Structure 1
Amino acid sequence: MDTKLFGAALVTLFVIVDPPGSVPIFLALTRSLDFRARNKAAWQAVALSFGVIVGFAVAGGQILSYLGISLPAMQAAGGLLLLLVALELLTGKQDDPDSSATSNVALVPLGTPLLAGPGAIVATIVFVRQAGGFTDYVAIGAAIIAVHLIIFAFLRFSNVIVRVLKQGGIEVVTRISGLLVAAIAVQLIADAVASFVRQYSS
């Protein structure tokens, strides 16, 4: 296994996915769940993210090419989805006990596009395209597994943060998370627009 490629892929995916930064967003979206349900949500989110990343690593280029989807289009779609989530967090819609959103947060938006987002997908596709043989594929696969184990560790032990912050602290974290998610969404959309401008102006 190419340890240099493994390290590069691991660091790149870790920085893009940002496991520490995903914790406050995870807490905000699962604030109405109990201990066991929150742990289940963490496992489901990581499992979905892993499946999506592996799927795009294996056939990402072919899928996008077949559907005629560009990478900027994926970025814009992910940004719009995250913007809707941010508005719910900022307006307190997540506080509504009648809302069914929390039943699916492990899949959307946690699993994708927060964890397996456009950035992680694009980075994975690029690494696979640059791979020169079986050992390179093994290194990339090991990096994907390692980064998802790290993500799960952060989300799994987020309950410690819950006990420290209490209900009032989680309220504050929810609003701050909404602002951060909104900023991420706007950045994704802005990057997509810039890519479209470069693509069609050249």
Structure 2
Amino acid sequence: MHLDLLEIISAFVVLFAIIDALGSIPIVLSIKQKQRINPLTVVGASFGVMLGFLYAGDIVLSMFGVDIKSFAVAGSFVLFFMAMEMTLGVEIFKMDGPEKVASIVPLAFPLIAGPGSFTSLLSLRAEYQTINIIIALSLNMIFVYLVLVLTDKIEKFIGKGGIYILRKFFGIILLAIAVKLFATNIATFFNH
């Protein structure tokens, strides 16, 4: 287990694109109009759930007879569709459920810690050291906290057009990551 700056940056970018804290600002603003959001609760719950899945996700997978490489290939499809959603502006993943506990549902789960981040974490584990992923995840959680605290100011500074452009930009990056993840892990099936 060793620290690798390149792995940390790569994992940070993947998680940053998936979590999409800046792209979530419109959702956060609409929830804030209805009820109070506690940024520490959101970040704590999200981090706890994702860290738990990072460590126990493979145990859950093994109960179903699936290895991490296979999950990474499946995850590349999820990332691909999320990237398509971000770049094309279509809704593929529906978010429904009660909004009474806004800090936990829908913010901590499934908006921040959702299927995309779970898939990303396990996919990253197939290629990167766990310590580097945890550092990247921690940095992302700090960023999410800052976004939640400064949501109103960020929207005024960047504007709706800026948020739109950021969402498209990270959608394209995520699309490239999904293709790389697919190509890297699908090769292992043909090299046996």
Please provide the CA RMSD for this pair. 3.6
Task: Please identify which structure carries the higher helix content.
Answer: 1
Counterpart check, 1:31 vs 2:32: no
C-alpha distance 111-38 of structure 1, shift in aligned 2 (>3 A):
farther
C-alpha distance 108-185 of structure 1, shift in aligned 2 (>3 A):
same
CA distances 1:74-112 after superposition (whole Å, capped 9, x unpaired): 111110111111121122135x9xx53693222324542
1:181: which partner in 2? 174
Distance in 1 between residues matched to 2:157 and 2:65, nearest whole Å: 48
Matched to 1:155, the amino acid is V
Distance in 1 between residues matched to 2:79 and 2:71, nearest whole Å: 12
Query: In terms of mean alpha carbon deviation, does 71-80 or 152-161 score higher?
Result: 152-161
Contiguous gaps of at least 5 residues in structure 2: 97-104
TM-score by length of 1: 0.64
Shift of 1:15: 3.4
Identity of aligned residues (%): 18
C-alpha distance 180-144 of structure 1, shift in aligned 2 (>3 A):
closer
TM-score by length of 2: 0.67
Distance in 1 between residues matched to 2:114 and 2:20, nearest whole Å: 12
Q: Quick check: 1:17–1:120 contact (8 Å CA) kept in 2?
A: no
Written as runs of structure 1 = structure 2, the 5 A alignment for 1:50-199 is 50-55=51-56, 60=58, 67-93=64-90, 100=95, 103=106, 104-109=110-115, 111-114=117-120, 116-120=121-125, 123=128, 148-158=137-147, 159=150, 161-199=154-192
2:9: which partner in 1? 15
Contiguous gaps of at least 5 residues in structure 1: 128-139
C-alpha distance 28-43 of structure 1, shift in aligned 2 (>3 A):
farther
